[in-house]
């Protein structure tokens, strides 16, 4: 009974905190994009070289897209002539880096973990895009078409109208991830209330350096959203799992989802999809070991 009470308390507190963070940050990001036109965004991303990789990763870092939104945007960027390297930096950064994820990490595991996670994944996104461009993998992009097209949104003259539309968009995004959020928080609550701490410490504690690659390997085939992984990771951390292994698990799990895998296979050839999964795994391992350095 005591474990049940502890689990329910964890469930309620974490769910309430994540709900407020998700809606607040998503509304703020949506409001910012009310003032940035698609034409201006396209001009920024058309730069080549490392600046293009930087801007591609930055776009992924500020857009709270799910995988179902990331892939159509990726196709649109490719069709608009954005350099391949910058597009791949966006594809890697988009599911791993956004204000919602960073704010969740900041609130739940602290600024140091948030900073290492953010810097490592951003640099990895930039470097990966540049390397894939140099390797000539742009030829592994299939010729795809977009049925229909993006419709121009109505221009709202007032701040209140823009804020209202931003919140409506945030609410729609929240409804889309609510099931994943509930599952993640429920699993985390069960771990927090019932899983013995000594078991987690023995398998994935700081004294086991192999815990990081193992966590990354486990995370990659999980194919879950970051909103699902983070509550689980918080519970594992409080049970004694090393932060490095937790970060590796988050990146491995959030870097590729089942919808994203299937949609990537529709626009990329098999070799490029496999390389992208390998990049996610390496990013997870490097970010995990970064905690030992800092």
Residues 6+ apart with CB under 8 A from 199: none
Residue 151, pLDDT score: 46
- Residue 123 — very low, low, confident or very high, per pLDDT cuts 50/70/90? very high
Cβ(224)–Cβ(261) below 8 Å: no
* Average confidence (pLDDT) over 99-123: 82
Per-residue model confidence as pLDDT tens digits over 263-282: 677 778 888 888 888 888 88
Question: 3-state DSSP call for residue 251?
Answer: helix
Q: Is 160 exposed, middle or buried (0-12, 13-18, 19+ CB in 10 A)?
A: exposed
Please count the other Cβ atoms lying within 10 Å of the Cβ belonging to residue 37. Answer: 12
Q: Is the pLDDT of residue 88 over 60?
A: yes
pLDDT of residue 1: 58
**pTM metric for this prediction:** 0.68
pLDDT of 238 above 70:
yes
Is 107 a residue whose pLDDT tops 90?
A: no
Task: Name 141's bridge partners.
Answer: 268
Mean pLDDT for 208-222 is 74
* Cβ–Cβ < 8 Å for 286, 279: no
CB neighbours of 68 closer than 8 A, spacing ≥ 6? 259, 260, 263
HSE-up (13 A, CA, CB side) for residue 85: 22
DSSP states along 108-133: HH-HHHHHHHHHHHHHHHHHHHHHHH
pLDDT digits (tens, 9 = 90+) for 152-206: 556 666 888 888 888 888 788 678 667 766 876 787 677 667 766 566 566 656 6
Q: Looking at 83-92, 133-142, 230-239, which range is the least confident one?
A: 230-239
Predicted confidence at residue 177, as pLDDT, reads 65
Q: Which of 93-107, 132-146, 183-197 has the lowest mean pLDDT?
A: 183-197
Rounded Cα gap, residues 108 and 230, in angstroms:
9
Contact status, residue 14 vs residue 189, Cβ threshold 8 Å: yes
What is the distance, to the nearest Å, from the Cα of residue 16 to the centroid of all Cα atoms in its chain?
Answer: 21
Mean predicted lDDT score pLDDT of the chain: 75
Q: For residue 102, what pLDDT band results from cuts at 50, 70 and 90?
A: confident
Q: Residues 18-52: pLDDT tens digits?
A: 788 778 866 876 777 677 665 666 666 666 678 88
Q: Is the dihedral of CA 257, 262, 267, 270 positive or negative?
A: positive
């Amino acid at each position: 009974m005591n474990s049940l009470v502890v689990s329910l308390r964890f469930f309620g507190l974490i769910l309430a905190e994540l709900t407020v963070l998700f809606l607040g940050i998503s509304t703020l990001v949506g409001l910012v994009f009310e003032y940035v036109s698609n034409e201006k965004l396209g001009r920024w991303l058309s730069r080549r070289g490392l600046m293009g990789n930087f801007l591609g990763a930055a776009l992924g870092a500020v857009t709270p897209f799910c995988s179902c939104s990331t892939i159509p945007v990726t196709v649109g960027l490719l069709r608009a002539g954005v350099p391949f390297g910058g597009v791949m930096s966006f594809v890697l950064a988009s599911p791993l880096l956004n204000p919602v994820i960073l704010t969740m990490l900041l609130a739940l595991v602290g600024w140091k973990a948030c900073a290492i996670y953010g810097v490592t994944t951003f640099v990895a996104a930039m470097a990966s895009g540049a390397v894939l461009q140099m390797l000539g993998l742009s030829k592994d992009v299939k010729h795809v078409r977009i049925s229909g097209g993006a419709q121009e949104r109505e221009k709202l003259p007032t701040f209140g109208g823009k804020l209202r539309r931003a919140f409506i968009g945030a609410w729609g995004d929240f409804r889309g991830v609510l099931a994943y959020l509930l599952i993640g928080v429920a699993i985390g609550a069960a771990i927090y209330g019932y899983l013995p701490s000594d078991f987690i410490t023995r398998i994935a504690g700081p004294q086991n350096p192999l815990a990081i690659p193992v966590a990354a390997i486990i995370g990659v085939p999980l194919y879950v959203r970051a909103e699902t992984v983070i509550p689980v990771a918080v519970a594992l951390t409080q049970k004694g799992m090393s932060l490095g292994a937790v970060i590796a698990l988050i990146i491995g799990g959030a870097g590729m989802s089942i919808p994203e895998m299937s949609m990537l296979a529709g626009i990329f050839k098999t070799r490029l999809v496999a390389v992208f999964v390998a990049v996610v795994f390496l990013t997870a391992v490097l970010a995990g070991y970064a905690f030992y350095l800092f």
